[in-house]
Amino acid sequence: MLTSLQNPLVKQIRKLHSTKERHKQELFLLEGTHLLEEACAVNYPLVTVCCTPAWQTAHAALWEEACSRCDRAEIVSEEVLEAIATTVQPDGVVATAKRSDRLTQVPLTGLVLALETVQDPGNLGTIIRTAAAAGASGLWLSEDSVDLDNPKVLRASAGQWFRLAMAVSDNFKATVQASQQAGMQIVATLPSATLTYWEVDWRKPSLILLGNEGAGLSAEVAAIADKQVKIPLSPGVESLNVAITAALMLYEAQRQKIYQ
């Protein structure tokens, strides 16, 4: 059992709390039983799994499965587990995986989200969770957004991070244009729009553009859109949270596909 905070593996995993180190090591953190269950459910490859003796006893089958999917498994003390976790009260298990293994292909069909400069990890994780729940085909993220594998993003996604096709675009404008050329209608969310979001025919292959929490979409990207839509707001209400905005449009699209 690893008990020392000076152990090389422990020190390495602790460094993954830093965005810079996650990029440097090309690893990210999976914290908690639920995320580990979801990773195993989709056969996601793991690098390291660390758990406390109590967790191992309580989750023997999951521990055995995780061990079969990782390069290294270690039992650690409560003190070590708390040190390598980013949460205040970890539930007993922390794993690592390679960042490169998350690279995937987002389809140019169905219903896809494209997020420009979204900064809050809670928002991104919630959008991922909602998109998976509403049956979206995938999600594009601009390179200047919060990291897709930020620990808070994974936790907020409630495990759906593993079930939605997602990719980071190094040229967001070009990605939107490629989707348009592939026959998808590009729908931008803008407060100045005249169309409401339920006036769009969401049964067509569609790409939903959502912008930064404060600044919204850039004018350059918004100009590409085939349609611009708004969400009606009562007087005095300036805007909605970007995750709420995404949810409204995703479920309007689902409603149209089911009932129209």
Model pLDDT for residues 112-121, shown as the tens digit of each residue: 999 999 999 9
CB atoms inside a 10 Å sphere around CB 192: 8
Q: Is residue 215 part of a domain?
A: yes
Of 50, 84, 102, at which residue does a domain stop?
Answer: 102
Q: Give the CATH number of the domain where residue 157 resides.
A: 3.40.1280.10
To the nearest whole percent, how much of the chain has pLDDT over 70? 100
Do strands 195-196 and 227-230 pair parallel, antiparallel, or not at all (unpaired)? parallel
Q: Are residues 93 and 126 in the same domain?
A: no
Q: Are residues 117 and 242 in the same domain?
A: yes
Q: Are residues 119 and 174 in the same domain?
A: yes
Q: Is residue 138 part of a domain?
A: yes
Residue 177's pLDDT is 97
Q: Are residues 141 and 240 in the same domain?
A: yes
Buried b (16+ CB within 10 A) or exposed e, 220-255: ebbebbeebbbbeeeeeeeeeebbebbbebbebbbe
Structure tokens at 223: 């100009």
Q: Are residues 127 and 238 in the same domain?
A: yes
pLDDT band at residue 239 under the 50/70/90 scheme: confident
Kindly report whether the global pTM for this prediction surpasses the value 0.75: yes
Q: Are residues 132 and 79 in the same domain?
A: no
38/93 Cα distance (integer angstroms)? 14
Question: Tens digits of per-residue pLDDT, 4-50?
Answer: 999 999 999 999 999 999 999 999 999 999 999 999 999 999 999 99
Q: Give the CATH number of the domain where residue 28 resides.
A: 3.30.1330.30
Residue-number span of the structural domain to which 55 is assigned: 8-102
Q: Are residues 213 and 164 in the same domain?
A: yes
Segment 222-246 mean pLDDT: 92
What is the domain count for the chain? 2
Q: Is residue 2 part of a domain?
A: no
Q: Are residues 200 and 255 in the same domain?
A: yes
Q: Are residues 70 and 187 in the same domain?
A: no
Nearest C-alpha neighbor of 129 from the set 219, 34, 203, 260: 34
Q: Are residues 169 and 75 in the same domain?
A: no
Residue 213's pLDDT is 85
Following DSSP, what letter does each residue of 5-58 receive, concatenated?
A: TTSHHHHHHHHTTSHHHHHHHTEEEEESHHHHHHHHHTT---SEEEE-HHHHHH
Question: Tens digits of per-residue pLDDT, 184-223?
Answer: 999 999 988 999 999 999 999 999 999 998 888 999 999 9
Q: Are residues 231 and 115 in the same domain?
A: yes
